[in-house]
Amino acid sequence: TSMIHEGEISYLTDVKSDKLKETVIKTSFTSLTEKIGYKINTNKLKSILKNLEFELQTKGDEVTVKVPSFRKDVAIEEDIVEEITRIFGYDNIPSTLPRIEKNPEIPSDELKLEKILRNNLISQGFSEIINFSFISEKDVEIFHIDENSLIKIQNPMISEDKILRPILLINSLKTVQRNVNKGYKNLSIFEIGKVFWKGIEFEEEKNLCIILHGKKYENWSGNTNFSYYDLKDTLDRIFLSLGIHYEVLPKKYPFFHDYISGEIVINEEKVGIIGKVHPEITEKLEILDTFACELSISKIEKYIKKDISFKQTKNLPTSSKNLSILVPKDYYVNEIVKFIKNYDTGNENIEIKEVRVMDIYEGENIPQGQKSVNVLIKLKWVEEVREETEIKVVFLNIIKDIQEKLGFTVRGM
């Protein structure tokens, strides 16, 4: 038996008037032979294509190829090249070395600077890290980022991380957190990458973030924690290699410690930030004291001195002295460093070679509301070594002016 199904027959549609879409490829015989890598006679090229039922329209070197409707596999110039070589015979095309551009494109100055910074930091013992470019709303809350400057994305890779990072510091600190959780506590790391924010338009620039966490030494030679001054040393080495003079000015940021926070300035332009990560953040991430800075590679590039010259100096001895200076607890100690560095020794044969903050101490035997700053000063003979009393006079004058002009107490010499 058979079953009969009742139904309605649809109307027939005549499609004969619909034209099939033609594929037309515009190229030139020169372009085809360059891509083949071998000079095939133009008449031979025409013959191959016509035998494959391609229609050709030529004007000098230029050729327009109309692809037959049954060849849906041919859509671009490279497909035509493949057809020609298939018919001509791959074995008939000799092997040749690839063409090398004699004048390759010179990398941008920004890329050159990025390479210099990377090599400099690796030579200082730092390791490079790479993170995704996204942060979460929780990160925004922890780091107190201005929400009006943030750029949100509609299709995040990870559901929580739906904001483009405005600074590298956030994800770099998460890398510290992951390493600490795995037992790696002593970290000197850096990251280079783009950051994004919303100004008048959507903005982006390339930044460098440097982080120190844990101990500088943890072996037979010592057991010393990283400090702000270790990070400052790292910056000094970078800018010295670039021939750039910079300074750090006090400036508060919500993610840095109230008294260890500043902006990095070149020629009065802010090019970065530096400080000790705020204790509230390190506590939430369950990590130790962390020191970080972030620089704009895009802004620094224009300040690089293209020609850095060096002059021969006489290898004469130096004299060092440590001073302990009492200052208010909230005093920005870089002001003392600047004061001493710019000090006129009054002696053309003696110059100030180095001024460095070695330690800051608060606590027992220090008056309330004050801190003791230990500063190392190195003086150097310029032309010739003379009586040590001349060096002593300069040190005494520096101490006298710190007391009289700055109004601070010098405790030890």
> Where does residue 268 fall: left (phi above 0), alpha (psi -120 to 50 degrees), or beta otherwise?
left
Q: What share of the chain is helix, strand, coil (3-state, %, to 5)?
A: 30, 30, 40
- Measure CA 377 to chain center: 33
d(CA 86, CA 124): 56
pLDDT of residue 1: 47
pLDDT of residue 220: 64
pLDDT of residue 4: 55
pLDDT of residue 308: 55
Amino acid letter for position 288:
L
pLDDT of residue 17: 55
Least Cα distance to 245 among 156, 162, 371, 338 occurs for: 338
Say if residues 258 and 252 touch (Cβ distance below 8 Å).
Answer: yes
Enumerate residue ranges in the chain where pLDDT < 50: 1-2
Determine if the pTM surpasses 0.75.
no
d(CA 348, CA 159): 66
397: helix, strand or coil: helix
Least Cα distance to 276 among 238, 229, 239 occurs for: 229
Q: What kind and span of H or E run contains 65? A: strand 62-67
pLDDT of residue 255: 95
